[in-house]
Structure 1
Amino acid sequence: MAFALNTYMAPDFECTTFENAPDVVMKRVAADGVAPENYHAMSIFPEYFKIDGQWHLAEESRMDCVPVWEDGRVHVREFRHLRVGDLVICGRQETGEEGIYVHPDGFRTAEAMAERFAFRQNRSRETAYSKVYDDLYELLKYERDNGYIVWVMGPAFAFNGYSREAFARVVEGGYAHAVLAGNALATHDLEAAYLGTALGQDVNTQMNMAGGHYNHLDTINKMRESGSIGAFIHKQGIDNGIMHALETRHVPYVLAGSIRDDGPLPGVYGDAYAAQDAMREHVSKATTVICMASMLHSVATGNMTPSFRVLPDGTVRQVYFYCVDIAEFVVNKLVDRGSLASKGIVTNAQDFIGLVAKGLDLL
């Protein structure tokens, strides 16, 4: 059966509740980066605001940010991006009483809305994931040509030759439109391509090499000498791995730095807020997000990702969000976002990417 998106059910704004609702209250920002009293904070769901008698959807939303009315549209901004004079929408009631309506059930089926009690809703090692995998394969096939797939990755994939190859095949197959990661993923993947090790351990045999603890530092140093990851790949004749696939396929990636980074590599964002802005550029286009083996990057991306996306033709569609980790806590923390679009898989991330590559007939 061909994959089909769930149909979005918009609120009926012709009903009495909405017609009688007042316009929202708006207040000006008095100091840069400071929202006015009683500001409204956004959720992951579609949110509508009544302004001059009309209901307006905030199209590019983000949780824990504030709505700003500007140029006939509702913009959603981080507190740090607020500027003096911005017109912020205020109000804490979310069912129309203050001209604000949060719509959590737009993608729910009638059956799902009726089912209020159910067992085994959390993800665990005992959960069966075969149907989740089958659905994911079909979703990725659809999204390759119709959506924007963002992968959020920890460094675990770079420690194993098979998982490096599996994700490289995913990229080469067109199933990645952007990758968000940290310094470590790129460092250890390129160490593997350059010296055959990750943190000094052979990526195929898992044998520790003599003096191998220098390998990642030598790799970083060579890349810094080259000036960029792309230049290093070209100069050293790198022909395999994740970063090689991203560079040769021209898939954009954001490497967000950490206080614990070695080097770091050229191109890694050292400013956390600049990294956040760069990540959000891709998250704001994402229709499917898959977070794997990186709790901090996954939580950060989850906080940026709404449950919906407005397409250029005005269609409101679902955003699919997956979290893959060996730790149940991480998976359930990300899945427990109140959205039916969120799925969790408790497994080794290296095994996961191998299954995905096979399920897509890439290996």
Structure 2
Amino acid sequence: MSFKLPKYIEPNFEQEFLTNAPNVTTIEVLKDGVAPDNYHGTTIYPEYLKIDGKWILAKESRMDCVMTVTEDNDVAVKEFRNLHAGDKVIVGRTEDASEGIYVYTGGFNSEEEEEETFAFRAGRSRETAYSKDYDDLYDALKYEKENGYIVWVLGPAAVFDKDSREAMQALIENGYAHALLGGNAVATHDLEAATIGTALGQDIYTQKSMKDGHYNHLDLLNKARRAGSIEKLIEEENIDNGLIYACVKNNVPIVLGGSIRDDGPLPIVISDVYQAQNEMRKHTRKATTVICLATQLHSIATGNMTPSYTVVNGEVRPVYIYSVDVSEFAVNKLRDRGTLEVSTIVTNVQDFLVNLKNNLTE
């Protein structure tokens, strides 16, 4: 395996503009959930705050939040709804240290290849060659299996096909998943496939629509709600295959966020969106690699919660984020919404998962 984490290079704090920078200014919160005017909104990048003459890195971050100075002069990043009266919120809209706030984008920079002023195929599209992307991902996942925290964000397309469903199960069972995020649909259709062999009423191998197949996922939902839990459903229906089965069997956490369009839903689905976000956030805080497959809204949600870096055992390292979809629009949407460090692969998820399974499992 040739994978090696890039070394993080801290800013040179002896630079004049950093040594001469003022301490940050804070204003106390007066009303729960409301930040003071001129609050500093966070980015996906490492941010340093000058507190009592020392530059402090915000160790756990996410975009579009605010920063507070804690009693021990550390930095906490909070969503607006989690602010409490008395919290000391950092204010200032600059990022160049002039207000004690320094957004640092060069920590993982290597020697850049010289870019041509004019070049063909500079973007990422269905015409892009992805061989190196796959090879890099294989190496990264082998490393992350033992040293990182791999989070999968899955849409139902991951379980509509027999081979991709089996591939994802194999990846989970071989330790390449540490958490699974998604919605009601991916779990419902996976369990429908496990019990009936269909997904949305179509045979997952032949794609033939079954008679009254539109009832299949509803029948599954009803059985699950009668059982009262996914674990009990697996036991009662003798389920021995699929993504959800593999997660339960291997103690891989599952977070399913509800949607206004859900039918059922499964008993595991979290209907309160902020509770769902809190549960997702537990895993994005630990994530070192995030792989988003064919679910635009859940991908954007997860991307918004995931910074470009994390701190593991005191060391700053990058967080790798992949967006995979057959639609160029879908993969580019994540970048448009602020996840600037995402790697995109335009392909169908069936081929993607089978490639991973064939190269990572025996």
TM-score (norm 1): 0.96
1:160 Cα deviation after fit: 1.1
List gaps (5 residues or longer) in structure 1. none
Segment of structure 1 superposing worse, 316-325 or 337-346: 337-346
Secondary structure at the residue paired with 2:322? Answer: strand
**Are the aligned partners of 1:154 and 1:181 in contact in 2 as well (CA < 8 Å)?**
yes
Shift in CA distance, 115/42, structure 1 to aligned 2, threshold 3 Å: farther
> Aligned pair 1:14/2:2, yes or no?
no
**Are the aligned partners of 1:318 and 1:341 in contact in 2 as well (CA < 8 Å)?**
no
Deviation digits for residues 13-61 of structure 1 (CA, Å, limit 9, x no counterpart):
1221111100011000111111101100000000000011010000000
**Whole-angstrom CA distance in 2 between matches of 1:329 and 1:82:** 35
**Are the aligned partners of 1:191 and 1:198 in contact in 2 as well (CA < 8 Å)?**
yes
**Whole-angstrom CA distance in 2 between matches of 1:9 and 1:118:** 31
Aligned length: 360
**Whole-angstrom CA distance in 2 between matches of 1:254 and 1:62:** 19
**Whole-angstrom CA distance in 1 between matches of 2:15 and 2:42:** 24
1:341 Cα deviation after fit: 4.4
Name 1:50's counterpart in structure 2. 50
**Are the aligned partners of 2:171 and 2:361 in contact in 1 as well (CA < 8 Å)?**
no
Cα RMSD (Å):
1.5
> Aligned pair 1:212/2:213, yes or no?
yes
- What amino acid maps onto 1:52 in structure 2? D
**Whole-angstrom CA distance in 1 between matches of 2:36 and 2:300:** 27
- Give the % identical residues: 58
Name 1:348's counterpart in structure 2. 348
Deviation digits for residues 68-91 of structure 1 (CA, Å, limit 9, x no counterpart):
111321000001111111000010
TM alignment of 1:245-324, pairs within 5 A: 245-312=246-313, 314-324=314-324
**Are the aligned partners of 2:62 and 2:77 in contact in 1 as well (CA < 8 Å)?**
yes
**Whole-angstrom CA distance in 2 between matches of 1:320 and 1:118:** 28
**Whole-angstrom CA distance in 2 between matches of 1:74 and 1:265:** 38
**Whole-angstrom CA distance in 2 between matches of 1:216 and 1:116:** 53
Deviation digits for residues 292-337 of structure 1 (CA, Å, limit 9, x no counterpart):
100000001111110000112x100011010001110121222457
**Are the aligned partners of 1:35 and 1:79 in contact in 2 as well (CA < 8 Å)?**
yes
Name 1:28's counterpart in structure 2. 28
1:354 Cα deviation after fit: 0.8
Name 1:200's counterpart in structure 2. 201
**Are the aligned partners of 1:335 and 1:343 in contact in 2 as well (CA < 8 Å)?**
no
**Whole-angstrom CA distance in 1 between matches of 2:347 and 2:79:** 34
**Whole-angstrom CA distance in 2 between matches of 1:116 and 1:266:** 54
**Whole-angstrom CA distance in 2 between matches of 1:30 and 1:151:** 39
Secondary structure at the residue paired with 1:257? Answer: coil
**Whole-angstrom CA distance in 2 between matches of 1:278 and 1:59:** 19
Deviation digits for residues 128-176 of structure 1 (CA, Å, limit 9, x no counterpart):
0000000000000000000000000000011111111000000001000
**Whole-angstrom CA distance in 1 between matches of 2:343 and 2:265:** 33
- What amino acid maps onto 1:30 in structure 2? L
Deviation digits for residues 72-111 of structure 1 (CA, Å, limit 9, x no counterpart):
2100000111111100001011111000100011111132
**Are the aligned partners of 2:61 and 2:77 in contact in 1 as well (CA < 8 Å)?**
yes
TM-score (norm 2): 0.96
**Whole-angstrom CA distance in 2 between matches of 1:128 and 1:233:** 41
Name 1:163's counterpart in structure 2. 164
**Whole-angstrom CA distance in 2 between matches of 1:58 and 1:122:** 32
**Whole-angstrom CA distance in 1 between matches of 2:202 and 2:337:** 38
List gaps (5 residues or longer) in structure 2. none
Secondary structure at the residue paired with 1:302? Answer: helix
**Are the aligned partners of 1:61 and 1:76 in contact in 2 as well (CA < 8 Å)?**
yes
Secondary structure at the residue paired with 1:12? Answer: coil
**Whole-angstrom CA distance in 2 between matches of 1:335 and 1:343:** 9
**Whole-angstrom CA distance in 2 between matches of 1:85 and 1:340:** 33
**Are the aligned partners of 2:24 and 2:50 in contact in 1 as well (CA < 8 Å)?**
yes
Segment of structure 1 superposing worse, 64-73 or 168-177: 64-73
Shift in CA distance, 139/337, structure 1 to aligned 2, threshold 3 Å: farther
Name 1:127's counterpart in structure 2. 128
**Are the aligned partners of 1:108 and 1:340 in contact in 2 as well (CA < 8 Å)?**
no
